[in-house]
Amino acid sequence: MLTLRKHSYLFFIKSSFFYLIVTFFLVLKPVCFGQTTINESKGIIYFYNPESNIDNYAALKTKFDKYLKKIGPYQFQPFNERTTFENMTRGRHNCVFILSSWYFKELKNSFSIQPILIGTLDGNSNQKKVLIAKNNISSLTMLKGCSIASSGSKEYTIKFLQSMLKEKNKEIAETLQILNVPKDIDALISVGFGLVQAALTTQCSIEMMADINNTLYKNLSILAMDENSLLPVVATPSAHDREATELLDIITNMDKTPDGKSNLQMLGVDGWKELDESDWDLLRK
Amino acid sequence: MITMAKHLLKKFAKLNGKKLSEGFFLLAVSLLIIPAVFLSDILLAKENGGVLILNSNESVKKYSQIQTVFKANFDGVTAETDIGSNWLDEKPVEKSIRDMNPDIIFSIGSKAYILASKIANNTKIIYSLGINWQRFAITEKTYVVASEVPPMTNVMMYRYFFPEIKTVGILYSKKHNKEWFSSVVADSEQVGIKIIGKAITKNKEVGNALNDLLSTVDAFWLISDPVVLSGMEYVKEIFTRCDAMKIPVFSYDHLFTNFGASFIISTDIDTMGKQAAKIAQYLQSNKDPVGKIQNPAGTYIAINTKKLEQYGIKLNIKALSSVNEFIE
C-alpha cells in the first residue's frame, strides 16, 4: 500500500529555496559563465599534418586560440591521430581545415572538401623532400634494413618512401626501421651523430643544417629526392557555413600582422596563395 | 605456495574423526601438489625469459611516460615491475625477477638499473632516464639511452634559434666539468659560437665569476654543475644578475622556468622510449643495435619569447615550428 509521508512546513520552505537557487543558476549560468554557452565557438580551424610531427599541440592551440579570440568566437583544434581527426570532423560545415598536402590527397576521395589556399614559404609553395644518409652509405641498396629518422608519422613515412623510391628500390621502404622524432632538425642531428643511418627531411632543413653546422652537413649525402610535394593546404567542406567563410578570411590575412605571421611559422609556412594550375595538378596526382 | 600449504594444513587440523579419511586424502594430495608446484616454478624460471620493464618509481611522471611509450612501440613486454611501490623491501622484487629470469630488462631510472645489474647474469639491460649514466658500471650487456642532450645539439639549437648570438658564457667547476667544457668549446667553434668559460672551485666564487663573465657574453648557459648549483641563493643570483644585464639564460631543465630561463632544451621523453623500444627489437632478434650508448634523438624546446623580446634578442622566426612550449 502506498503511504505518503507528511512533510513539515519547514521542509517546504527549504525545498522551495533549493529549487529557487537551482533555477537561478540555470538561468544565470549562460550569462555569467557564458564563454561556453553564449559565446560558444562559431567556427573551428581543424589542423592535421602527419608530414611533420608537430608535437607542440598545446603550444599551437594556445597561440592560435589567443589570436582567434581577438577576432571573434573561433577556435583552433589540432590533431595528432588520423582516425580521431576523421571521426571528429566528418560532416562538419562550420570549419576550415589546414592539412598536409599529402594527407589532403589521401582524404579527398572520402571527405567532401575543397582546397582553397596553399601554404608558402619564402614565396614558394613547393617543398623538396629528401632522403639523406651519411657519406658512407652511397646507394639506396645499402639502406636495406637500416634505421631512418623522420618527423612524419610512421604511416606517412612508409607510404611516402614507397612513392619516392622507384621500381626495384621500392621494397627497401618496407625494410626500414623508422624512428619517429619530434622535428626535422632532430632527424638531421640523429643522422649526423650516427644514431640512425638515414633521415627523411626537406631541402629547406638541409640548407639550414649547411648554415648552422657545415662540417656535419658535408658528411651527409642525398640518396633520393621528391620535388612534387606541396606545403600545407587550406580547405573547406564542399558545403560550408558562413563561419567557414569568415575563418577563411582570417586565415588569408594572418600574414599581415606580426602575431599572425609568427603563428603561421609554427605551421612551417609564412603565407598563403591561391591554387594555380600546377598546384591543382600536384593535388590531383 | 607457502600460503597454500598453510591453508591445506589448517584445513587438515580442523577435521574431526568422521572425516579423517577425507583428511588423509587431502594431505596426500597436498604432498603431491606442493613439490609439483615447486618443480614447475624452477622449470618455468629457466624457461621464462621474456622482456621485463623495471621502473624505479612509476609515480614519477617521466618514468611512467617512457614506460607507456616503450610498450606502445614494443609488443614483446612480458612483465612490469614498479620498485617505487615496494620501496620498503626490495627482496621480494629481486626474487620474482630472479624467478622470471628475463632475457631483457628495460630499466627506468638509476634505482632500477642498480637492481637489474645486481640480478642480471645473462640478461641484457637497456638503461634509460638515469642521471649521469657514467656513474654506473656499464657492462657488455648494457645498452644506454642517455638522458642528457649532447653539447653539440645544444649549440646547434642556439645557432638555429638565435643567429645573432656569437658568445655564450658558462660557469663551471673544474672538478666536475673540466673535460666536458673543453669538448663544448671545440663543438661550438664548429657552429660559429664562441664559448667563454669561468671555472670556480667554491660556490662562494659565483658572484665574482659572474662579474667577469657577463660583460663579455651575449647569453649565459646554465649547466648542471654541482658547485655552481649548490644552493638556491646561487641560482637566484645568476638569474638576477643576468636579468639586470638583459642577458638571456639558456638551460637544460624545466625547473628553471620560474627563475626566468629564456630557452630550455631538454630530452624528449617519448623519443627516448621509442629508442629503447628499437634497441629491444634488435636485441630480441639477436641483432646489434646502432651504438651501445645512444644520445637522445629528440629534443623538447621551451622558449620565453616575452623575455627575449625584453632583452632585445633576435629570434629566427622560422625556428618557431620547432618549439614545443611557449613559456608565458
| pLDDT for res B44 | 40
Question: Which of B 154-213 lie inside 8 A of A, CB atoms?
Answer: 156-157, 159-160, 190-192
* B160 to A185: CB separation less than 8 angstroms, yes or no: yes
Torsion angle, CA of B171/B176/B182/B188, rounded to 10 degrees? -50
Q: What is the pLDDT of residue B3?
A: 47
Say yes or no for a CB contact (<8 Å) between B160 and A56. Answer: no
**DSSP state, B150?**
P
Q: What residue in A sits closest to B327 (Cα-Cα)?
A: A59
3-class secondary structure for chain A? CCCCCCCCHHHHHHHHHHHHHHHHHHHHHHHHCCCCCCCCCCEEEEEECCCCCCCCHHHHHHHHHHHHHCCCCEEEEEECCHHHHHHHHCCCCCEEEEECHHHHHHHCCCCCEEEEEEEEECCECEEEEEEEEECCCCCHHHHCCCEEEECCCHHHHHHHHHHHCCHHHCCHHHHCEEEECCCHHHHHHHHHCCCCCEEEEEHHHHHHHHHHCHHHHHCEEEEEEEEEEECCEEEEECCCCHHHHHHHHHHHCHHHCHHHHHHHHHCCCCEEEECCHHHHHHHHC
Burial class (CB in 10 A: 0-12, 13-18, 19+), B243: middle
Q: A49, A191, A205, A212: which to substitute to probe chain B, counting the most B Cβ within 10 Å? A: A212
Of the candidates B159, B274, B324, the beta carbon closest to that of A56 is on B324
| CB atoms inside a 10 Å sphere around CB A241 | 16
Fold equal for B51-148+271-294 and B151-251+299-326: yes
Q: How many CA atoms lie within 13 A of B316 on its CB side?
A: 18
Domain boundaries B151-251+299-326, corresponding CATH code:
3.40.50.2300
Residues within 8 A of B (CB atoms), A 40-69 only? 52, 54-56, 58-59, 62-63
User: How far apart are the C-alpha atoms of A245 and A89, rounded to whole Å?
Assistant: 17
Q: Express each pLDDT in B244-272 by its tens digit.
A: 999 999 999 999 999 999 999 999 999 99
Which segments of chain B have a pLDDT < 70?
A: 1-48, 86-88
Tell me how far the alpha carbon of residue A131 is from its chain's centroid: 22
Summarize chain B as % helix, strand, coil (round to 5).
50, 20, 30
- Looking from the CA of A78 toward its CB, the CA atoms found within 13 Å total 20
pLDDT at position B119 is 84
What is the pLDDT, as a whole number, of residue B121? Answer: 78
Which residue stretches of chain A have pLDDT < 70? 1-41, 53-55
The angle subtended at Cα A179 by Cα A178 and Cα A180, nearest 5°, is 110
* Superfamily (CATH) of domain B51-148+271-294: Response regulator (3.40.50.2300)
Q: Are strands A147-150 and A43-48 parallel, antiparallel or unpaired?
A: unpaired
Q: Which domains does chain A have, with CATH numbers?
A: 43-124+231-284 (3.40.190.10), 126-229 (3.40.190.10)
Contact B297 A179 (CB under 8 A): yes
The predicted complex's ipTM stands at 0.80
Residues pairing with A114 in the sheet? A236
| Domain boundaries, given as residue ranges, for chain B | 2-47, 51-148+271-294, 151-251+299-326
Minimum CA–CA partner of B322 in chain A: A183
Mark yes or no for CB contact A266/B268 under 8 Å: no
Of B250, B253, B248, whose CA–CA distance to B266 is shortest? B253
Instruction: Give B228→chain A minimum CA distance, Å.
Output: 29
Give the chain B residue whose CA is nearest to the CA of A154: B73
